[in-house]
Amino acid sequence: MLQKKMQDDVMGNVQQWIELLTAGDCEPEERLDSITRDAAAIFRVPIAMINLVDKNTIRFKSSVGLKQGASINRCGAFCSIGVRQENCFSIVDAVNHADYKDYSLVTGPLKIRSYIGKSVHAPDGTRIGTLCLFDTKPRKYTRVEVHALCDLAEMVDYEIREILGNKSF
């Protein structure tokens, strides 16, 4: 069932927005990097990211704790679900989650245990990625923390609008 969800594309003109935002690569954007650094510090997590999610790939547009500009296959990734939702999506303990217990980020060297992500948007409202946090221990985020992540995601939305200007499709 999760595999089928992964194969569905996210709404809107995702690929066109991502191409404009990355201009063929995933070069750093200080205005996004500062939000990612703040998220890692505020939530005290080893990994914080702004990801761009298209039909097949998740690109690390901004990252603390993992190589920026890298990409992974979308299939089975936490952010594949996060980008499809307007509200925060979280996994308290991936080791005990049926859909993620065998995922390479959980079983591999990173040993990810918890995830929370909030979708971020292109100027037309299309969900194009996530602001997400990963921790190496189980973690249930409080309502205040969820609200703070939503506020940071709105800041990402604003910066994306500034980067892309008034472009539309």
CATH number at residue 22: 3.30.450.40
Q: Which helix (H) or strand (E) holds 130?
A: strand 127-135
Q: What is the pLDDT of residue 5?
A: 38
Nearest to 63 by CA among 94, 26, 89: 26
Q: What is the pLDDT of residue 142?
A: 96
Q: What is the pLDDT of residue 2?
A: 38
Contact 82, 127 (CB under 8 A): no
Tell me how crowded residue 120 is: count the other CB atoms within 10 A of its CB.
28
Tell me how crowded residue 27 is: count the other CB atoms within 10 A of its CB.
10
Inside any domain, residue 94: yes
> What six digits make up the tokens of 3?
């595999």
In terms of Cβ atoms closer than 10 Å to its own Cβ (0-12, 13-18, 19+), residue 137 is: exposed
Contact 78, 113 (CB under 8 A): no
Task: For residues 111 and 94, give the distance between their C-alpha atoms in angstroms, rounded to a whole number.
Answer: 9
State the residue range of the domain holding 138. 2-164
Inside any domain, residue 169: no
Strand segments, DSSP code E, in 18-125 are 47-53, 57-64, 71-73, 89-91, 114-121
Q: How many domains does the chain have?
A: 1
> What six digits make up the tokens of 114?
């918890």
pLDDT digits (tens, 9 = 90+) for 152-163: 999 999 998 888
Inside any domain, residue 31: yes
Contact 137, 113 (CB under 8 A): yes
Q: What is the pLDDT of residue 56?
A: 76
Q: What is the pLDDT of residue 100?
A: 85
* Global pTM value: 0.81
Within the chain, which residues score under 70 in pLDDT? 1-28, 68-76, 78-82, 166-169
Q: What is the pLDDT of residue 24?
A: 52
Inside any domain, residue 45: yes
Nearest to 86 by CA among 134, 44, 146, 28: 146
CA 77 to chain CA centroid, Å, is 10
